[in-house]
Amino acid sequence: MIQVEAVAAMMDYPKQMEMVTQQWRKIGIYGDVKQMERGLAFQRLTANQEQLDVWSNGGSELMYLFPREVLPVDPTEAHLGIEIAKWYTSNGTQGTAPTDPELKRALELYRSASGQKEAERNKTAQEIWKIIVEQQYTIGTVGQSPAQFGVRIVSRKLGNIPSRTCIAQHCRTPGVSHPETWYFKA
């Protein structure tokens, strides 16, 4: 039995995972969904006390800008392995090295990208994504959708609203549209 920790934040992840675990049963995988308060769930995540969790992949479309949903490189939120993230950020002095040679290779590629020119960096990203897709370190269920950050609806009574805005993690929605500058029209 796999314990799946799910937080009811932004979206109803516990209900989504109940549906997913019902589908898993058909192929012999048994999951037990545990709804947790967000603070406790992240405390357990950083203490390496969970088997599996469900969370957003927001920002993954820009791996170099927001990598933590793609690779375990950020020990403050490493859904893909806190001990590996500690190992990565400490250059091997803390945490645990990945035993999967492909994951280790992806992390080495990621580290090398920061000194590369754009064309080479793009090729490196393609190699990393190839590894991630082939090794299937995460299981996507919904993908990028407005369900997390909402659908944009604007009143005609408001002024200084941008005609377009970015709805994504790396944009820090809704801050990117500068709501502090909005005003009600007279």
- Predicted pLDDT at 142: 64
Torsion angles phi and psi, residue 124, rounded to 5: -60, -45
Q: Which long-range contacts (CB under 8 A, 24 or more apart) does 101-107 make?
A: 102/131, 102/134, 102/135, 103/72, 103/131, 103/135, 103/137, 105/131, 106/71, 106/131, 106/132, 107/71, 107/72, 107/73
pLDDT the model gives residue 148: 64
Looking at residue 79, its pLDDT comes to 86
pTM for this model (two decimals)? 0.78
Q: What is the pLDDT along the chain (186 residues), one digit of tens a residue?
A: 999 999 988 788 999 999 999 999 999 999 999 999 999 999 999 899 999 998 877 777 788 988 888 899 999 888 889 999 999 999 999 999 999 999 999 999 999 999 999 999 999 999 999 999 999 988 777 666 666 666 677 889 999 988 887 777 677 777 888 999 999 998
Strand partners, 52: 4
Kindly state the tokens that stand for 137. Answer: 């370190």
Spatial separation of the C-alpha atoms in residues 10 and 14, rounded to whole Å? 11
- Judge contact between 14 and 32, C-beta under 8 A: no
- What pLDDT score does 61 carry? 78
Domain positions in the chain: 1-54, 56-144, 146-184
Please list the residues that pair with 183 across neighbouring strands.
159
From 112, 122, 120, 126, select the one nearest 73 (Cα to Cα).
112
